[in-house]
Amino acid sequence: MINKQRIIDRFISYITIDTQSDPESQTTPSTKKQWVLARKLAEELEEMGMTEVSIDEHAYVMATLPANVPHKVPVIGFISHFDTSPDFNASNIKPQIIEDYDGLDIILNKEKNIVLSSEYFDDLKQYKGQTIITTDGTSLLSADDKAGITEIMTAMKYLLDNPDIAHGKIRVGFTPDEEIGRGAHKFDVKKFGAAWAYTMDGSQIGELEFENFNAAKAIVRVQGKAVHPGYAKDKMVNSQYIAVDFINSLPRLESPEHTEDRQGFFHLSDIRGDVEETVLEYIIRDHDLGHFKARKEMMQDLASEICSQYENDCISVEITDQYYNMREKIEPVMHIIEIAENAMKAANIEPLLKPIRGGTDGAQLSYMGLPCPNIFAGGHNFHGKYEYVPVESMQKATEVIVKIAELTCEKYK
């Protein structure tokens, strides 16, 4: 049995280290403070008895649990990221531990009247009677993805302490900057040396994901002409009005707040400007590659149409692909999904196969030659003050890791 208190202690020791990434930085890792946890993990891996422990110049941490069986078993891996989202305060995290949760609202911060509502966040109700770790309402929790790190580290320690559990060679990897889309950019797949791996970066207990969005970022620049407003007739061109035309010409219901499951969207994530120039930042998402390409073409066509109305090149659209749907790379090796499903069932968990409405390091790694589906880490409401994680979900995720190692060994006996 995975020790509950050790899970709690390990998790809290990680989340109280601020590892927030920075999308404006050009370094890897993007913030120096990520090094603190990277070095701590490397030290802990050494102390627990893992071999081939390394931390490279970009803070990528890797280590090996050697096989304890004589027959040949494919090398498998488990991966999590140690950075936290730049979208919300990640410093001075003060976790609250709610024992024997009663299924009702949880007061996160009485002084600021911040409440984790069980009606609004109705997933909470399924964890009645369990131990919930929440924020104090002033920061995120960083269960994304320090819950995953906790589970991998705990599973490796459990396997080291229980050598009677047969397993092949296991590699673990911890990455920086996943939250800003760069977690896999400098990951050395050849050095990692696994036939396949699993990211422990999902949410609700039971999640098993091998589909994700195709993703792109679009920068829309709208050019105007600034003239003194008192003398502006037939001379001023207000870029902000043109930008509004562009925004309103995209399908309004194809946005994050109106879509679900495999439905794609355009998301206006940032807008800034004045009369002379307005810049719009979009993210484009779709599970279907054909629809994804069509979305990118729609934005370019719309810009051309508006430019023709103004008889000048008032709009430019720069689109950069970010990652692609990993399904294409997982389907030829579906046995790795079957192993994960069977591991969950052995742990009395009902597998929830669902598409990711986002991306993970695993999406990029799959296209780099390392098939890498995603498994639940247990947290909910990531990237904000309502984030929480049930300890029992972390226990179960740890158990799943151990079972995957065990079942992989049995399959190739």
pLDDT score recorded for residue 181: 85
Taking CA atoms, 132 is separated from 5, 108, 161, 387, in Å, by: 13, 12, 27, 10
Residue 32 has pLDDT above 80, yes or no: yes
Residue 360 has pLDDT above 80, yes or no: no
Same domain for 103 and 167, yes or no, is yes
Task: Show which of 264, 296, 323 is a domain's final residue.
Answer: 323
pLDDT score recorded for residue 361: 87
Same domain for 243 and 357, yes or no, is no
pLDDT score recorded for residue 353: 93
The answer to whether 52 and 63 are in contact (CB under 8 A) is: yes
Domain that holds residue 11: 4-211+325-411
Could you read off the pLDDT of 270-285 as tens digits, one per residue? 999 999 999 999 999 9
Predicted TM-score of the model (pTM) = 0.89
* Helices 335-346 and 391-411: angle between axes, nearest 10 degrees: 130
Residue 126 has pLDDT above 80, yes or no: yes
The answer to whether 283 and 269 are in contact (CB under 8 A) is: yes
Same domain for 44 and 174, yes or no, is yes
Q: Rounded mean pLDDT of the chain?
A: 95
Residue 358 has pLDDT above 90, yes or no: no
Same domain for 243 and 282, yes or no, is yes
Same domain for 318 and 227, yes or no, is yes
Same domain for 32 and 160, yes or no, is yes
Q: Exposed, middle or buried, 234 (CB in 10 Å: 0-12/13-18/19+)? A: exposed
Task: Show which of 293, 323, 353 is a domain's final residue.
Answer: 323
Same domain for 265 and 343, yes or no, is no
Same domain for 364 and 290, yes or no, is no
Task: Please state the rounded mean pLDDT for residues 46-67.
Answer: 98
* Helices 143-161 and 4-15: angle between axes, nearest 10 degrees: 140
Could you read off the pLDDT of 302-334 as tens digits, one per residue? 999 999 998 888 999 999 998 899 999 999 999
Residue 357 has pLDDT above 90, yes or no: no
Task: Please state the rounded mean pLDDT for residues 41-59.
Answer: 98
Number of domains, the chain = 2
Higher pLDDT, 124 or 354: 124
Same domain for 125 and 58, yes or no, is yes
User: pLDDT tier at 172 (50, 70, 90 boundaries)?
Assistant: very high
Task: Show which of 308, 323, 338 is a domain's final residue.
Answer: 323
Task: Please state the rounded mean pLDDT for residues 93-116.
Answer: 96
Percent of all residues in the chain with a pLDDT value above 70, rounded to a whole number: 100
Could you read off the pLDDT of 66-88 as tens digits, one per residue? 999 999 999 999 999 999 999 89
Same domain for 373 and 385, yes or no, is yes
Q: How far apart are CA 362 and CA 200, in angstroms?
A: 10
Same domain for 270 and 401, yes or no, is no
Enter the tokens of residue 262.
């495999």
Could you read off the pLDDT of 142-157 as tens digits, one per residue? 999 999 999 999 999 9
Write out the catalytic residue numbers. 83, 178
Same domain for 22 and 156, yes or no, is yes
Q: Which CATH number belongs to the domain containing residue 223 in this structure?
A: 3.30.70.360
Q: Which CATH number belongs to the domain containing residue 103 in this structure?
A: 3.40.630.10
Residue 243 has pLDDT above 90, yes or no: yes
